[in-house]
Structure 1
Amino acid sequence: MRPGRLLLGVVTGPHGVKGQVRLKSFTAEPADIAAYGPLATADGRRFTVAVTGRAKGVVLARLSGIDDRTAAEALKGTELWLERDSLPAPEDDETFYHADLIGLAVEDTGGRALGAVTAVHDFGAGDVLEIKGAAGELMVPFTRAAVPTVDLAGGRLVVDPPEEELAEEELAEKLAEDGA
């Protein structure tokens, strides 16, 4: 695991008048944001999270020490972080934290460099890797077929993207070379 912190959520605003907040959770199961113990802000404040409900795209929660709407409003936009060493190790070699994939070098099955992973998205049908390179952006489903090798220790992964994705990338490379 890489050292540092992981962003687990962001306060999107207050909820009600008793200090509850609306949280955009970045955990696999949104309510699990409360399961990691106290979370820290960029300026070092620490909050214990207690989830009280759900609303459209967010969880409703109480943060320790926040007792009224004014205090909750002041937290709007506040990021909540967790120290990496607080996380359990992945269960097996096939389980990865998204943050561990960000920044990995990407090559195709022939060894050609394609760029680096810049984001991991979940649009509802499974995780998708966003890869940016000199030729532009490539989106690859994060499946064993499309990503046969993930080498965290080596800082790379190998992709076998659909042919149409490579064809679009090759066209973009050619246009870039031709100055178009």
Structure 2
Amino acid sequence: MANDQKLILVGHVAGGFGVRGEVRITAYTADPLALTAYGPLLRADGSHGLSLTQTRATKDGVVGRAKEIATKEEADALRNLKLYVPRDAFPAPEEDEFYLADLIGVEARDPQGLVLGTVKAVQNFGADDMLEIAPVLGGPTWYLPFTKEAVPDLHLSDGWLLAVRPEEVGEREPD
């Protein structure tokens, strides 16, 4: 696999299931059964992870068989293994649509065109998606809500997005 190929996180091994070597996988895809359609699931470094041969849906993913796993102990040993597929394994998005993974690596520019940094990751801590921005001048990353107010314009084909940083909120005045 080419080093510049973007990998998309699609799930992780949750452990063994039963006593016959089946594996539980927590899926991060809209359709958990799609995990079998992507071909071999990869590790973060792009090396081979798992090849699913049979699956059935569960409430948070799939249970199934993988060529690499014969026993419950082998499945349990892979617990927390993150599973990826190449970005090009996904269908092309419709016009005016994109995958969140396509935001990674784009520049975040302020309304004056100054480059603030690069999108390092898209995080979701339970409320909404947040863009993790790595500052162009270095230092700690910062978060930008992925809302229309904070990111009013996307220019993904040109490799940048407009970032409007929220006003900082100070200490609350005593009543």
TM-score where L is the length of structure 1: 0.72
Map 1:127-138 → 2, pairs under 5 A: 127-133=129-135, 134=138, 136-138=140-142
Task: Specify every segment of 5 or more residues in structure 2 that has no aligned partner in the other structure, as ranges.
Answer: 171-175
CA distance in 1, matches of 2:48, 2:20: 24
Deviation track 1:125-179 (CA, whole Å, cap 9, x = no partner) reads 32111112135332222122211222222221111121217x9xxxxxxxxxxxx
Whether the 8 Å CA contact 2:10–2:35 is kept in 1: the answer is no
Corresponding position of 1:121: 123
Please list the CA deviations of residues 1-54 of structure 1 after superposition, one character each: whole Å capped at 9, or x if unmatched.
Answer: x84432212213223222232323332x37255364323234335512624423
1:41 maps to 2:42? yes
CA distance in 2, matches of 1:136, 1:61: 39
Equivalent residue pairs, number = 160
More helix per residue: 1
The CA distance in 2 between the partners of 1:155 and 1:62, in whole Å, is 39
For 1:108, which of 110, 113, 123 is the aligned residue?
Answer: 110
Name whichever of 144-153 and 17-26 sits farther off. 17-26
1:31-180 aligned at under 5 Å gives the runs 31-34=32-35, 36-42=37-43, 43-44=47-48, 46-48=50-52, 50-54=55-59, 58-65=60-67, 66-93=69-96, 95-133=97-135, 134=138, 136-164=140-168
Indicate how the Cα distance of structure 1 residues 162 and 82 shifts in structure 2: closer, same or farther if over 3 A, else same: same
Deviation at 1:72, TM superposition (A): 1.2
Determine the C-alpha separation between the residues in 2 that align with 1:13 and 1:104.
Answer: 35
Identity value in percent: 34
* In structure 2, C-alpha distance between the alignment counterparts of 1:163 and 1:131, rounded to whole Å: 16
TM-score by length of 2: 0.74
Q: CA RMSD in A?
A: 2.7
In 1, the alpha carbon distance for the partners of 2:98 and 2:159 equals 13
Q: Is the 8 A contact 1:8 1:33 kept in 2?
A: no
The letter for the 1-side match of 2:90 is L
Measured against aligned partners, the alpha-carbon deviations of 1:67-120 in whole angstroms (never above 9, x if no partner) come to 430231233343322232221111222x22222111211111122221111111
